[in-house]
């Protein structure tokens, strides 16, 4: 048995450089582990080894030059310290809160992400969720499919869609900017909260999220998940949004205090919510399942067939550039982290 374990921990026998995978990216479950294949490097799959991770890393510490990770696979300082020749971490996500970037910066390890690949898909989903909540599209669909139209009559009316609505965006990075562009077509009045005012945009800036919520009909969360944004949206912000307000989250679940949000929705202290992300995924608060003023999706706002193909090219391109001593395609500036958007894969 020990011999079998030792054999399973051995890397492929050829001269290609090694890229470590701690946990398989979600793309593997859809397309297979050949999805990021390249003739210029090979994968070392820790998740296929029966060895404890620390032992596996110690066994291959001298071989690993790069890591491929995703939002579900943390690259911690402890992991990094076990890999003396690590020089690159590539993530399939746009957000990087699962990587210890401080340790990477200290070690001089480069980080590359998905760039802005997911920005347009996220923006489309954010506006779609907002339209759905306001016009009760999903709820009306269930009403018809359950045969209630013929037995109970017309479904209750929704609200005027977006024309003239005041929409606040939390995080005006690449995703937030794409959301704003789409809302302009609906003649929305757009305002935003960010770490600092952006002189190049015409939208109203609020330095405080509560003040932003007071002046909005809808609040769309597009910011990165950081220590500073954890539970940024809590009771005070939701109360400021008010009983006619709608909140949309296509960023990361922990940005919203989920328990407070659930209570506000149950008590109708806000009008509704469109949620693509949750605080303890894949678990979703059971209370939300019965609410017609909530529209949910399984953390896939960022993901389309086209974007995944672009992701494949970007991930492979980053590794091939690195092993050829060429500039990375989508390097992450580690000295200015919080601006990064939150979508993941």
The catalytic residues are 252, 281, 299
Coil, helix or strand at residue 317: helix
Please give the structure tokens belonging to residue 182. Answer: 């789409």
CA distance 123 to 342: 12
First CA to last CA distance, the chain: 35
DSSP assignment of 70-113: -TTS-B-HHHHHT-TT--EEEESSS--TTB-HHHHHHHT-EEE-
Beta-bridge mates of residue 90: 68, 112
CA distance 255 to 91: 21
Residue 70's closest CA among 87, 94, 88, 51? Answer: 94
Phi/psi at 201 (nearest 5 deg)? -110, 150
Please give the structure tokens belonging to residue 60. Answer: 């291959």
User: b/e string for 114-123 if b means 16 or more Cβ within 10 A?
Assistant: bbbbbbbbbb
Measure CA 160 to chain center: 29
């Amino acid at each position: 048995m020990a011999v079998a374990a030792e054999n399973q921990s051995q890397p492929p026998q050829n001269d290609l450089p090694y890229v470590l995978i701690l946990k398989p990216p979600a793309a593997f479950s859809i397309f297979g582990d050949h999805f990021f294949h390249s003739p210029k490097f090979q994968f070392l799959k820790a998740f296929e080894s029966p060895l404890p991770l620390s032992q596996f890393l110690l066994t291959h510490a001298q071989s690993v030059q790069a890591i491929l990770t995703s939002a579900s696979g943390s690259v911690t300082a402890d992991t990094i310290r076990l890999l003396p020749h690590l020089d690159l971490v590539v993530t399939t996500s746009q957000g990087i809160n699962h990587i210890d970037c401080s340790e990477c910066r200290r070690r001089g390890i480069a980080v590359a992400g998905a760039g802005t690949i997911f920005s347009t898909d996220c923006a489309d989903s954010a506006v779609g969720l907002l339209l759905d909540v306001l016009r009760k599209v999903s709820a009306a669909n269930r009403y018809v499919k359950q045969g209630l139209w013929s037995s109970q009559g017309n479904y209750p009316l929704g609200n005027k869609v977006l024309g003239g609505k005041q929409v606040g965006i939390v995080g005006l990075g690449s995703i937030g900017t794409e959301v704003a562009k789409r809302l302009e077509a609906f003649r929305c009045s757009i305002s935003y909260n960010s770490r600092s005012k952006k002189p190049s945009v015409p939208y109203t800036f609020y330095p405080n999220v509560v003040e932003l919520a007071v002046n909005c009909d809808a609040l769309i969360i597009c910011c990165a998940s950081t220590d500073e944004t954890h539970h940024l949206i809590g009771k005070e912000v939701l109360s400021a949004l008010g009983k006619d307000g709608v909140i949309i989250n296509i960023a990361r679940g922990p940005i919203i205090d989920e328990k407070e949000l659930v209570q506000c929705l149950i008590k109708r202290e806000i009008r509704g919510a469109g949620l693509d992300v949750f605080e303890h995924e894949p678990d979703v608060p059971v209370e939300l399942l019965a609410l017609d003023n909530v529209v949910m999706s399984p953390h896939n706002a960022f993901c389309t067939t086209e974007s995944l193909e672009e992701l494949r090219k970007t991930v492979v391109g980053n590794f091939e550039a690195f092993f050829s001593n060429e500039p990375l395609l989508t390097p992450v500036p580690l000295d200015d982290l919080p601006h990064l958007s939150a979508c993941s894969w």
